[in-house]
């Protein structure tokens, strides 16, 4: 039988992670940031490639894109390229914080760790459930629209379709939310 | 539009957390207690809808993109404090489960997009709804977006002023880069969303909705 995650250990890990990410956000020397990144990789080597992949997919493109856009705007407005090193430090800082966040969340059962806050837990569960429900319903509606059209739907087709389905999606999501909320309240949340 | 981790140092992010936490606590006590049984599902759905529309990026000239916030409606229906709590939750879910935004900058983002913007939108709604309801809704959405953008620009400008090596982009550049898309694209779409979404909520005739 699998052992249940210890909520106190989870809360300790959450607290340590919070301290670590704020400390990391204070660094802007690339050498310190690289050292911190290496320490994080050594500490959280289990599932390393998965966590690195997640960081590379969801954190690095955003930071690099924003940095590139900022540098471009700076060049356009002032006529000069800004120094590269602060942007390198920025990208590295965001990547190390992202890696640490994903590595910790992989090892943490978030809802048991949040158990002392029942109202927050209830709202979190209701919202997460609705996010999944809305995404599922919108994907199904998009596939339905695709199947009805002989060509790939364009932006105007999507807009026409969205008006009709959004009301239905929202009504369904709210009824679903009410069921979940009532069920959680009946269990003491 | 919201800031990712690593853009602001603890000199700004920690005081922002210190300011945001009492608002979250006040909002949670006021809107999410036992008596919120009727309104919580609608708030949960609107929060989820805000989350979903915040993931839809609107391309703007210059190769970047912007997005809506979708929480002005929550401020209009339940008050700015409810919007603050719900936007905080959206930002927390984005940071923890999807790697967008971040936890260190959560206080700044929540104050900008969850409190200041929706508060401005709520005030515009209160002031203008007597003239024309649809115009007031549109103005609320548009103004909310501009105030949120200005608050984020202000935080970045403060960071640049504190340490240009930490955030090297000059405030004027940040203002142009973020302000132009907000004024011309995101604000207009946010205003239209507010008009559309409130008519939707009213048509659905949910329990716990008073507006």
Residue-wise pLDDT for A3-45, tens only, equals 556 667 777 888 888 899 999 988 888 899 999 999 999 988 8
Number of helical H runs and strand E runs in chain B = 9, 2
pLDDT for the residue numbered A91: 87
Beta-carbon contacts below 8 Å between A and B: 180
As beta bridge partners, residue B65 has B59
pLDDT for the residue numbered B92: 85
Rounded Cα distance, B97 and A98, in Å: 11
- Closest in A55, A63, A134 to B6, CB measured: A63
Q: How far does CA A75 lie from the centroid of its chain?
A: 31
CB atoms within 10 A of CB A87: 20
Q: Which residue has the higher pLDDT, A144 or A36?
A: A36
B89 touching chain A per CB within 8 A: yes
Chain B residues touching A59 at Cβ < 8 A: 4-5, 99
Instruction: Mark yes or no for CB contact A59/B99 under 8 Å.
Output: yes
CB-count burial class (<10 Å; 0-12, 13-18, 19+) for B37:
middle
The domains of chain B, with CATH numbers, are 10-203 (1.10.1760.20)
* Predicted TM-score of the model (pTM): 0.80
Buried b (16+ CB within 10 A) or exposed e, B65-89: bbbbbbbbbbbbbbbbbbbbbbbbb
pLDDT for the residue numbered B206: 62
Rounded Cα distance, A19 and B56, in Å: 32
Q: Which residue has the tokens 């999410």?
A: B32
Q: Which residue has the tokens 């060049």?
A: A75
Q: Which residue has the higher pLDDT, B116 or A133?
A: B116
d(CA A132, nearest CA chain B) in Å: 9
Rounded Cα distance, B201 and B211, in Å: 9
Chain A residues touching B37 at Cβ < 8 A: 181-182, 185
Backbone torsions φ then ψ of B206, nearest 5 degrees: -75, 155
Instruction: Mark yes or no for CB contact B103/A21 under 8 Å.
Output: yes
Chain B 140-179, CB below 8 Å of chain A: which residues? 163-170, 172-174, 176-177
The 3 state secondary structure assigned to B104-115 is CCHHHHHHHHHH
Contact B121, B155 (CB under 8 A): no
Minimal CA–CA distance to B114: which of B9, B39, B35, B2?
A: B2
Average pLDDT over residues A82-108: 86
N-terminal to C-terminal alpha carbon distance within chain B: 28
Predicted complex ipTM: 0.74
Residue A79 region by backbone torsions, left for phi larger than 0, else alpha for psi between -120 and 50, else beta? left
């Amino acid at each position: 039988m699998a052992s249940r995650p210890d909520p106190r250990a989870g809360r300790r890990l959450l607290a340590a992670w919070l301290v670590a990410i704020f400390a990391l956000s204070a660094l802007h020397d690339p050498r310190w940031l690289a050292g911190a990144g290496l320490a994080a990789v050594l500490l959280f080597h289990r599932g390393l490639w998965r966590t690195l992949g997640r960081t590379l997919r969801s954190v690095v493109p955003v930071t690099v894109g924003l940095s590139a856009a900022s540098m471009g705007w700076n060049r356009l407005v002032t006529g000069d390229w800004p120094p590269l090193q602060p942007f390198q430090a920025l990208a590295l800082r965001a990547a190390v914080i992202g890696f640490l966040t994903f590595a910790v969340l992989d090892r943490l059962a978030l809802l048991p760790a949040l158990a002392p806050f029942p109202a927050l837990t209830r709202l979190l569960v209701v919202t997460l459930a609705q996010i999944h429900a809305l995404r599922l319903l919108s994907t199904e509606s998009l596939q339905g629209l695709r199947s009805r059209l002989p060509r790939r739907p364009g932006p105007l087709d999507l807009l026409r379709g969205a008006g009709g389905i959004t009301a239905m999606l929202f009504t369904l999501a709210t009824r679903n939310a009410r069921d979940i909320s009532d069920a959680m309240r009946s269990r003491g949340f | 539009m919201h800031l990712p981790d690593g853009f602001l140092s603890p000199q700004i992010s920690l005081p922002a957390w210190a300011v945001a936490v009492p608002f979250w606590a006040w909002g949670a006590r006021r809107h999410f207690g036992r008596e919120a049984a009727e309104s919580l599902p609608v708030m949960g759905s609107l929060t989820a809808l805000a989350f979903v529309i915040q993931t839809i990026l609107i391309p703007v000239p210059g190769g970047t993109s912007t997005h809506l916030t979708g929480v002005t409606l929550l401020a209009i229906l339940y008050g700015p404090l409810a919007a603050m709590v719900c936007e905080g939750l959206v930002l927390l879910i984005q940071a923890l489960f999807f790697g967008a935004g971040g936890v260190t900058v959560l206080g700044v983002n929540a104050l900008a997009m969850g409190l200041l913007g929706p508060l401005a939108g709520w005030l515009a709604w209160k002031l203008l709804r007597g003239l024309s309801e649809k115009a007031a809704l549109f103005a609320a959405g548009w103004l909310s977006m501009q105030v949120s953008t200005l608050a984020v620009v202000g935080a970045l400008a403060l960071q640049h002023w504190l340490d240009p090596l930490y955030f090297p982009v000059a405030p004027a550049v940040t203002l142009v880069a973020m302000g132009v898309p907000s004024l011309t694209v995101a604000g207009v779409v946010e205003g239209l969303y507010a008009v559309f979404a409130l008519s939707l909520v009213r048509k659905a005739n949910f329990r716990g909705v008073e507006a």
